[in-house]
Amino acid sequence: NTFLRTEKTFADFNLRMQMRWDELGNSGVLFRAQQRDGDGRAYGYQYELDHSERSWSAGIYDEARRGWLYSLKDDQTAREAIKLDDWNDIEISARGGTLKTWINGVAAATVIDAFDPEGFIALQVHSGDVGIMRWRHIRIKELEPVAQPGNALASEDWLLEGLSDIQIQGTDVSGD
């Protein structure tokens, strides 16, 4: 893999950009990414850009660690949103433990995962014999953090959609 990465790290943000293939090949956008000591390998959340028939673009893959966190195998609408021969609008939102993606305005993935609260952003060209990608109109908006260290976790910002009530007793958390 080859990555063009930011020096700065980002925690809560909204990232928008456009991408297109000049020559089809696997690609992606790492976000809240880290770099291993020793071998320098980049790892972390990846917005997948999948040119294959599977078409899981905008799914979230945990690069060099846990694998798929959210594939698009059950989301036909999101799989059909990718354009292989034109510019694609990419959007990533990372807010607290909530990660969301869109492809060409179509909502794709929502993952609740707080493995990495911040990290760098990197554009990926996957290893292989083919693949030429273009990127443009890259813009990022840093957002105020959902919570600061020491804040109670039972605030409205931490509740999931559809979760109407939450109870915390000792170390137990439950909800309806």
Q: Can you give the pLDDT at residue 51? A: 93
Mean pLDDT of 23-49: 94
Q: Count H helices, E strands: the chain?
A: 1, 13
pLDDT tens per residue, range 128-144? 677 889 999 999 999 99
Q: Which residues contact 36 (CB under 8 A, 6 or more apart)?
A: 42, 43, 64
pLDDT of residue 38: 85
pLDDT confidence of residue 162: 56
Tell me the whole-structure pTM to 2 decimals. Answer: 0.83
For 95-117, the pLDDT digits (tens) are 999 999 999 999 999 999 989 99
Place of tokens 């840093």: 142
Would you state the pLDDT for residue 142? Answer: 98
148: confidence class by pLDDT, cuts 50, 70, 90: low
Whether 154 has a pLDDT exceeding 90, the answer reads: no
pLDDT surpassing 80 at residue 127: no
| Position 71, amino acid | S
3-state secondary structure 68-103: EEECCCCCHHHHCCCCCCCCEEEEEEEECCEEEEEE
pLDDT tens for residues 47-94?
999 999 999 999 999 999 999 999 999 999 999 999 999 999 999 999
Percent of the chain with pLDDT over 90: 70
The more confidently predicted of residues 156 and 82 is: 82
Q: Residue 31 has what pLDDT?
A: 98
